[in-house]
Structure 1
Amino acid sequence: MDLLYMVALMVVAVRAGEEQYHKKFPLGHTLEPNNKYDLLDYELANTELLMSFVVFRHGDRTPDEEELKKFPTDQNYDKIFFPYGKKALTNKGKQRGYLVGEYLRERYDNLISKLYLPDEISVRTTDFSRTKMTALTALSAIYPPPPAQKWNPFLNWQPVPYDTPAYDDDDLLYYYNCPRYLELRQQVYNLPEVQKKLKPYEGLFKFLTIKTGTDISVPEDVFYLDNLFQTLANIGVRAPKWANDVMPQIKEMTKIEYALEYHTSEMIRLASGVLLADALNATNAAIEGKWDQPKLRLYSAHENNVAGFMAAMKVFKPHQPKYGSTISLELRKRLLTGQYGFTATYAADGGGPGVVLPIAGCGGQAFCDYDTFVTLTQDHVISRSDHKKLCSTPIS
């Protein structure tokens, strides 16, 4: 009898996995042997998704003051910025936020209800209008009101709340409000091996300094210029010819900047250690039976946060995450064995598709055993109180 029961249980689990797989890959879809991302997805067919922590970048925006200062001009942008204002979402940015929400609804449709149930989800934004507006547009796609929650017969929308910590207390804004992180990054710029890597770009720094009339001397300066040209393009302003001529080098420098932002364990810890700690505390509590907590936790933030969270979970390859890019850390359980573990899923474009990334140290597998993941990332975890204390501690 016990043997028959076990066989029946295995059949049910396999069929459940097959059903999940065919939702992802319809009949007629062929797995190419060299398509490692499809194969990683296939590995998850016999797992159950239990909880997810999702960080996404806001949508397309206008420039901010720091970027505009890198290339001063007499041009009056006020009319061009109208009606958005500075450092604000454009209409395309709002559309991209909606695409993020559609992607999240599709991916987590079996995790959260169609109804907005406040106990199932938590939403947090940084204290910027662009991240708040992106959250609002994403939530409108995640929770179009079903009949029970349709409060206006002419409006297919319902209000869904989010939380925004005070600017000075927000660990996601480490690159603004954590002096120690900024000191560490400056130290990294001065490392001999980094100086050697930057030496071929000395001509680029000088060229950009002459053309902009400002001091362009470290990778962050070039990154701000890159962002400036991207954001001006969002409102129809073309980059000058001299910028387009060196744009490949500018893009390479942006990639270098992202590599340097997470150069050490301490930098990763200051960037995303609190977020990772929150995820591990929540999932550990869930595994111990405490399921009365949100299944889906959303963080509407910035490209640095997407990259930083990827670095913390050991899946980051240096690049600038695009508008609307989304990284998820998913808690899963194997249906056959009951083993818990994590999966990292990255949607490089707003709206997906999402691909599963192998977590470094987990043998190239999609599913990383829970305890193994905890061990691999232990140097990246920090408590909120320790983060605040460390951020204000000067480097000796």
Structure 2
Amino acid sequence: MPSTAMAARWSPSFLLSCFVLLNVCFPLLGQPAVEKKLKLVIMVFRHGDRSPIQTYPNDKYKEDSWPDGFGQLTQLGMDQHFELGKYLRKRYSGLLNETYNKNEVFVRSTDVDRTLMSAQANLVGLFPPTGRQVWNPNIKWQPIPVHTMSQSNDMLLIAKENCPRFAELVNETSTSEIFNELKKPYVDFLKTLPNHTGYSFDQLIGSKGPYMWWTIYDALFCEKIHNYTLPDWATTTVIEKLLGLQELSIAAYFGLYKQQEKTKLTGGVLVKAIIENITQALAPSSKQKMIMYSAHDMTVAALQSALNVSNGKLPPYASCHLFEIYEVGNDYTIEMYYRNDSSVEPYKITLPGCSQSCPLEKFTDLTSSIIAKDWRKECGFEDKNSDKVFGLTIAVIVLGLTLFVLAVMLIFCRKRLLGASYEAV
């Protein structure tokens, strides 16, 4: 006879549970996995290594100390972007054609030498000429268009430079209680810098302080990379403290005080453009596969602050924020990655409130609060078009009234003339 334990194992309730489980599992096992297909890549990257933008008054290395002057892409910077281009070729070999196709790739840069040159160096690595695109066998390069516009009109990649209200917010932040509290630990350190740098303490601690200490750090950082001899006072500790002030500056630009408003005026502008890019690229008639934006550390920082995924660090040279748009069944998802170290794979970024593979519709909904309804108006620009319309309206009204008055006068004069003629007869 079977044991009591065996009988319990094969009880009706146990058999019923097995039956239900099999009915649930077998249909699932028979369903094919939903295909995940990469459709589009959008990237925003910082230019490569450069010479200092400017330097502090007492620095012995002036502009003529740098082969191409201040703010220019170096050969190291060119190599960094060539390497990034090769990495992108490898990562997206299944998406892109082997050869450049103008319908698939669009590149835009700020109108600055180092960003334009970085984009070009990147494209050398991404699209080395092959086949019919080899126009000179001695040159492993082909010209690929990089689009740009004047800095004064660029409201996308350097929005903060062209928004009066944003400048007001930064000034307000520099006098805010939270900013001054965070700056307090550095005050004694800042007092030691005037004799070394040539900046006054008021310049360093005042409303323009972030720009002054930014200049000191940037100059020393660039000089160190390129093996220039640093002054004795520029110890490792000094440079670390200047870096801390740099990171405080980033926080002051994009956070700490009225962050939501700052976001709408800076990184939110780029987020809006990226969402529009995606919508257009996913249209049935579109062949778009890659959109590339070549910009600056503050562009990347503004974007990541807007998405609330910033690590608070200064984006390094050739750092790259990637948006990958996938088709999954009948839906689309977005995955984000950040490449800030060429020795490792990009790390995954998750938009707060969503999964790492975020449905496009949810991504759009979650970012709607950081997108300005009327950027120019919120920046404090006068609407020139409205002024033109108003002026034209007034002109039309004045012209109409003038014509009406002339018509009345003409009728009146004609009646007088006709009356006089009857009397003469």
- TM-score tier by shorter-chain length is 0.7 to 0.9
Tell me which amino acid in the other structure corresponds to 2:71.
K
Provide the residue aligned with 1:327 in structure 2.
Answer: 321
Counterparts in 2 of 1:350 and 1:224: CA distance versus 1, 3 Å: farther
Q: Which amino acid aligns with 2:301?
A: A
- Distance change >3 Å, CA 352–CA 256, structure 1 → 2: same
Q: Deviations over 1:262-317 (max 9, x none)?
A: 11122122222222112112323445x34515221101111111111222233112
Q: In structure 2, the residue corresponding to 1:353 is in which secondary structure? A: coil
Q: Is the 8 A contact 1:81 1:235 kept in 2?
A: no
Change (3 A) 1:308 1:290: farther
CA distance in 1, matches of 2:83, 2:377: 38
Aligned residues: 347
Question: Counterparts of 1:238-253 in structure 2 under 5 Å?
Answer: 238-244=229-235, 245-253=237-245
Separation in structure 1 between the aligned mates of residue 248 and residue 178 of structure 2, nearest angstrom: 13
2:216 maps to 1:225: yes
Task: Tell me, yes or no, if the aligned pair for 1:103 and 1:352 is still in contact at 8 Å.
Answer: no
What RMSD, in angstroms, separates the aligned Cα atoms of the two structures? 2.5
1:226 offset after TM fit, Å? 1.4
Distance 2:370 2:230 in 1: 38
Alignment equivalent of 2:74, drawn from 90, 105, 111: 90
1:71 and 1:301, CA in 2 relative to 1: closer, same or farther beyond 3 A? same
SS state of the match for residue 192, structure 2?
helix
Of residues 318, 322, 344, the one that matches 2:312 is 318
Partner of 1:272: 267
* Counterpart Cα distance in 1 of 2:222 and 2:83: 19
Give me the whole-angstrom Cα distance separating, in 2, the residues matched to 1:300 and 1:240. 34
2:277 to 269, 276, 282: 282
1:139 pairs with 118, 123, 134, which one?
123
Q: Does the CA contact (< 8 Å) of 1:71 and 1:225 recur in 2?
A: no
Q: Deviations over 1:126-173 (max 9, x none)?
A: 111111110110000110011121111222211111101111111222
The normalised TM-score by structure 1 is 0.81
Question: Structure 1: where are the runs of 5+ without partners?
Answer: 14-45
CA contact (8 A) 2:106 2:292 kept: yes
- C-alpha change, 1:380 and 1:351, in structure 2 (3 Å) is farther
Seen in structure 2, the aligned counterparts of structure 1 residues 247 and 261 have a Cα distance that, compared at 3 Å, is same
Q: Secondary structure at the match of 1:331?
A: strand
- Counterpart in 2 of 1:30? none
Aligned-pair identity (%): 27
Match of 1:157 among 141, 152, 155: 141
Residue 121 in 1 paired to residue 121 in 2? no
- How far apart, CA to CA, are the structure 2 residues paired with 1:292 and 1:175? 31
Equivalent pair of 1:229/1:238 in contact (CA under 8 Å)? no
| Structure-2 separation of matches of 1:168 and 1:76 | 27
Task: Extract unaligned runs of 5+ from structure 2.
Answer: 1-25, 383-425
1:379 to 329, 351, 369: 369
The residue type paired with residue 50 of structure 2 is R
Moved over 6 A (4+): 4-9
Deviation at 1:352, TM superposition (A): 5.6
Separation in structure 1 between the aligned mates of residue 130 and residue 31 of structure 2, nearest angstrom = 35
Q: Does 1:63 align with 2:47?
A: no
Q: TM-score, normalised by structure 2?
A: 0.75
Q: Residues 125 and 132 of structure 1 are in contact (CA less than 8 Å); yes or no, is this contact kept in structure 2?
A: yes
1:1-396 equivalent positions in 2, closer than 5 A: 10-11=32-33, 13=34, 47-65=36-54, 68=55, 70-73=56-59, 75-78=61-64, 80-82=65-67, 84-171=68-155, 172-214=157-199, 215-217=203-205, 218-244=209-235, 245-263=237-255, 264-287=259-282, 289-334=283-328, 337-350=329-342, 353-362=345-354, 365-382=355-372, 386-393=374-381
Take 2:31 and 2:142, find their aligned partners in 1: how far apart are those partners?
41
For 1:178 and 1:293, how far apart are their aligned partners in 2? 34
Tell me if the contact between 2:372 and 2:378 (Cα under 8 Å) persists in the aligned partners. no
Does the 8 Å CA contact 1:323/1:350 hold for their aligned counterparts? no
Q: Say if 2:281 and 2:288, in contact at 8 Å, map to a contact too.
A: no
Q: Deviations over 1:46-90 (max 9, x none)?
A: 63221121011111111123xx1x344455541x312x2221011
